[in-house]
């Protein structure tokens, strides 16, 4: 069983659309994260949630809204998609915030045309 | 600003060659250090980590890394690579003062091992 799973794996869409990426972890972890990998391959933190509570919001446009319905899920909703949103988005989870190892999903490649 | 540099962006080796991938970070305090690997089509997985203690850490699949505090470095090594080591390798740092768990990543190194 995949520990951290993201869907979809690939997402191609037009500018201006709204889309969601889902993330689920079956590790029983308390903390979940979203990272964005830019065109230069740097992964940069976007959000983290601990026990469904927002901990980090790293100067991300408010078109991006994370939603955590429960500890096992952290979905990323993006409104009014722009060309610059094209990237690979990685979800991760850790046992607790601050000190634990983060476990990553396989990434979602978003292409905005 | 805190940053992580991986000097080699693309490395091509033949099987059985030795590997060393450089990683330097800019942060003066206590750090936790990580190397992650992403095999084609798979998730990022942890190769090894350093939190404290012996600066030479061993990870999975024969990889090791050495933390040299004076050089702000955490280079990854493997004495003899295999074709199956072809992957993307990411170095990451977590400042010890961080209570958010935020990881700061380098831009990755693509390793291609020729059979």
pLDDT digit string, tens, across residues A39-86:
888 899 999 998 888 888 887 899 999 999 999 999 999 999 999 999
Q: From the CA of B58, how many Å to the nearest CA of chain A?
A: 16
- Extents of the domains making up chain A: 4-112
Q: Do B101 and A106 touch (CB under 8 A)?
A: no
pLDDT at A7 over 90: yes
Write the CATH number for B103: 2.60.40.10
Mean pLDDT value across chain B? 93
Domain that holds residue B86: 3-114
For residues B3, B89, A65, A98, the Cα torsion angle rounded to the nearest 10 degrees is: -60
Q: Do A58 and B102 touch (CB under 8 A)?
A: yes
Q: What is the pLDDT of residue A41?
A: 86
Q: What is the pLDDT of residue A53?
A: 87
What is the share, in percent, of chain B residues with pLDDT greater than 90? Answer: 80
pLDDT at B88 over 70: yes
What is the rounded average pLDDT of the residues A84-96?
A: 94
Q: Do A105 and B43 touch (CB under 8 A)?
A: yes
| Per-residue pLDDT tens over the stretch B12-52 | 999 999 999 999 999 888 899 999 999 988 889 999 999 99
Q: What is the pLDDT of residue B41?
A: 85
Q: What is the pLDDT of residue A9?
A: 94
What is the rounded average pLDDT of the residues A10-15?
A: 97
The domain made up of A4-112 has a fold known as Immunoglobulin-like (2.60.40)
Residue B97 contacts A where some CB pair is shorter than 8 Å: no
Measured CA to CA in angstroms, residue B95 lies from A4, A7, A85, B104 at distances of 24, 30, 28, 9
Joined together, the tokens standing for residue B86 give 């072809």
The answer to whether the beta carbons of residues B77 and B66 sit under 8 Å apart is: yes
Q: Do B101 and A103 touch (CB under 8 A)?
A: no
Domains held by chain B: number: 1
Question: Which candidate from A92, A98, A104 shows the least CB-CB separation from B99?
Answer: A98
Q: Do A2 and B43 touch (CB under 8 A)?
A: yes
């Amino acid at each position: 069983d995949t520990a951290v799973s993201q869907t979809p794996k690939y997402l191609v869409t037009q500018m201006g659309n709204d889309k969601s990426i889902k993330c689920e972890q079956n590790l029983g972890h308390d903390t979940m994260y979203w990272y964005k990998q830019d065109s230069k391959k740097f992964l940069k933190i976007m959000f983290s949630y601990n026990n469904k509570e927002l901990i980090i919001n790293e100067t991300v446009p408010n078109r991006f809204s994370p939603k955590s319905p429960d500890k096992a899920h952290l979905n990323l909703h993006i409104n009014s998609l722009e060309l610059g949103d094209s990237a690979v988005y990685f979800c991760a989870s850790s046992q607790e915030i601050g000190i634990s190892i983060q476990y990553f999903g396989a990434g979602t490649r978003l292409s905005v045309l | 600003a805190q940053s992580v540099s991986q000097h080699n962006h693309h490395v091509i080796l033949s099987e059985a060659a030795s590997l060393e991938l450089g990683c330097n970070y800019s942060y003066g305090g206590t750090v936790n250090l990580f190397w992650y690997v992403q095999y084609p089509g798979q998730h990022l997985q942890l190769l090894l980590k350093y939190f404290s203690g012996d600066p030479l850490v061993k990870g999975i699949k024969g990889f090791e890394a050495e933390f040299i505090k004076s050089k702000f470095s955490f280079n990854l090594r493997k004495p003899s690579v295999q074709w199956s080591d072809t992957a993307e390798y990411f170095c990451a740092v977590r400042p010890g003062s961080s209570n958010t768990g935020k990881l700061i990543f380098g831009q990755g190194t693509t390793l291609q091992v020729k059979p």
